[in-house]
Chain A
């Protein structure tokens, strides 16, 4: 039990994610999360605005249930499986983030500077969350997948489009962290 309560190292998490990929395909489905964003649009009536959303969402019920499971997994983990919320960061990272204005980096899973509820009341705070979400939704659908669909499944299947997508993920991520963070924070 003690092992479960500790943070899981990469050599446990990576193979475990491969097991999830195996189980999805074993049960006849693909492994991916971001298509559900479109399914939510369809359920919300987006088919009235674009034929793109005129799909049978009921055929994707299994994936919505998979996502519901992910939420439940988050509840179980945060309620019962965590002895501490601290993240053991590289001291260099902590120092760098302090200089950017992030106090106590790694004391919790998420920085209060971005995710505190109080931040929702400030224009900058809410804009950061909105812009991030818009990029995630638009970008994953344009690219045709996210980390699970492209980086894990696509690369496992040696797909060139997925390699290009993952290079794109890094191009965007590096641009954000190295050049835009110093302007934003």
Chain B
């Protein structure tokens, strides 16, 4: 299979999110209540190393598996889009205690109710697609 490597990377990612309890609703609650360092440590250390990695990509010190330069695509600009969209996502992240990655991990845990969250999230993406031309960016 051509994409086997992405299956393996996904399995690694799923195990990390599960074993580090990032998929626990309680860990997200605790983060937004500033009652534990755990989530800040996870995201903060990933970003700290990520910053170094991206610099090494940009300087061509780390190349991709074919020896090409790695480009990290810039994110779309727009204050309203990112702030309002981000806030709406934040409401859902805190309520369900799961962002998109952990939703899939919890399916693997056998959590039936998370399927409702996933279906609603797909519906939410669909509604965005219908409205996207009318939304301010």
Q: Name the B residues within 8 Å of A151 (CB-CB).
A: 43, 47
Using A36-B100, A90-B36 as known contacts, say yes or no to A173 and B122 having CB atoms under 8 A apart. no
The reply on A101 being an interface residue by CB < 8 A is: no
Using A89-B26, A136-B124, A173-B94 as known contacts, say yes or no to A71 and B104 having CB atoms under 8 A apart. yes
The reply on A123 being an interface residue by CB < 8 A is: no
Q: Which secondary structure characterizes the binding site on chain B?
A: helix
How many chain B residues touch the partner (CB < 8 A)?
A: 114
CB within 8 Å of B: which of A1-23? 4, 7-23
For the complex, what is the distance from the CA of A82 to the CA of B87, rounded to whole Å? 33
Q: Which secondary structure characterizes the binding site on chain A?
A: helix
The answer to whether B85 and A137 have CB atoms under 8 Å apart is: no
For the complex, what is the distance from the CA of A140 to the CA of B95, rounded to whole Å? 15
How many chain A residues touch the partner (CB < 8 A)?
A: 127
The answer to whether A16 and B16 have CB atoms under 8 Å apart is: yes
The reply on B44 being an interface residue by CB < 8 A is: yes
The smallest beta-carbon distance between B99 and chain A, in angstroms, is: 4
The answer to whether B11 and A109 have CB atoms under 8 Å apart is: no
For the complex, what is the distance from the CA of A138 to the CA of B76, rounded to whole Å? 16
The answer to whether B116 and A129 have CB atoms under 8 Å apart is: yes
Among A30, A38, A126, point to the contact of B125 (Cβ < 8 A): A38
Contact sample, A vs B, 9 pairs, CB 8 Å cutoff? A10-B20, A18-B53, A25-B53, A90-B36, A92-B35, A137-B126, A143-B88, A155-B47, A168-B82
Q: Name B's A-contacting residues (CB within 8 A).
A: 3, 5-33, 35-51, 53-54, 57, 62, 64-66, 68, 70, 72-79, 81-101, 103-114, 116-130, 132, 135
